[in-house]
Amino acid sequence: MQDHTQVLSALRKLGARIKGKLHQSDYYFAPPYLDVGEKGSIVRVREDVHERGKSRKILSYKTPNKPVGGVETREEIEVEVSGETRPLIELLTRIKVKPIATVKKERTEYTLTYEGVSFTVTLDKVETLGSFVEIELLSSRKDDVKQLIALGEGLATKLNIDTSRKIGLGYHELMLMKEATRLDSSHQNKNDSGGAYIAQ
């Protein structure tokens, strides 16, 4: 989307409370030694820096996406870690956990209750990708996933979000796709120019 103006207006009308503003740097890795059914899993090192200066670092493991009712779902395991980010990244690299993407963004989080269920609505401005809205509900209950997803779709409509533009990919996947497109375009331009390459 171009900006978050309409979503912000709807959030205020629904009584959403701002949770915080922060800058996030996410470093994504592809874990080795996985079974076939685990392909698509990722390891992420996240560094949060809040507007008031507080920071934290989170190490996450995410299972592959599974489509449920047209929405991608995945399980996550997260642990907060101390120390500097760079040594942790180096440790992962040393044990052959392959770095695949870095995503930097400005994030504003809101919380609200819709139809008796608590949601987190996140407004992101992602470097090189643009503006996005994320609606998140954390639940350990697997028996009513479709019902919860339907509630999320209803909330999206209330927030003036065009659900036909829903993206089932993570930012790191969008970044990888954009880079692949750039490289492909660069390759085509070289071919079209008869082998001549002009640096701009």
Q: What is the pLDDT of residues 148-198, one digit of tens each?
A: 888 888 999 999 988 888 887 889 889 988 888 776 665 454 444 332 322
Q: How far is CA 99 from CA 8, 26, 28, 75, in A?
A: 35, 11, 6, 21
Q: How many angstroms separate the CA atoms of 4 and 157, rounded? A: 14
State yes or no: pLDDT of 18 exceeds 50. Answer: yes
Better pLDDT: 74 or 18: 18
Q: What is the pLDDT of residues 78-88, one digit of tens each?
A: 999 988 889 99
CATH topology of domain 5-187: Hypothetical Protein Pfu-838710-001 (2.40.320)
Radius of gyration of the chain (CA): 19
DSSP 184-198: HHHHHHHHHTTT---
Backbone φ, ψ for residue 116 (5° rounding): 80, 5
Read off the pTM. Answer: 0.77
Q: What is the pLDDT of residues 36-63, one digit of tens each?
A: 445 678 899 999 998 888 889 999 998 8
Q: Are 103 and 90 in contact (CB under 8 A)?
A: no
